[in-house]
Structure 1
């Protein structure tokens, strides 16, 4: 997230990763057997650079919630 990259995840829709991706609107999660859907997602990003840029911005913004200072709040 800190590099501003959208996420294409292979994870169950009921996983914590899928929840994080949906909450921050930073990409999409797919099942391992959803290759055609993954391909469509990649092509959608190529065809719609404004959507790609939105996911990039969302990813950078989300990374602010996962820095060292935030982690320390949970450790100490």
Structure 2
């Protein structure tokens, strides 16, 4: 059972590492990458989003008007 857990978590870690490396390589090569573009936008195509940060004391009506 312990051997199974060690092998299982080693495979999961290897999978996560390969996924991270493939995403960063695809992103650097300029090809469309859904996982990164979904969160950060694609800077090359002008869709990069910058989050707006509002102070904590901003009222609901101010936030609604800001949209």
Higher helix share: 2
Provide the TM-score with structure 1 as the length reference: 0.31
Provide the TM-score with structure 2 as the length reference: 0.34
Name which structure has the greater RCO, CA cutoff 8 Å, separation 6+: 1
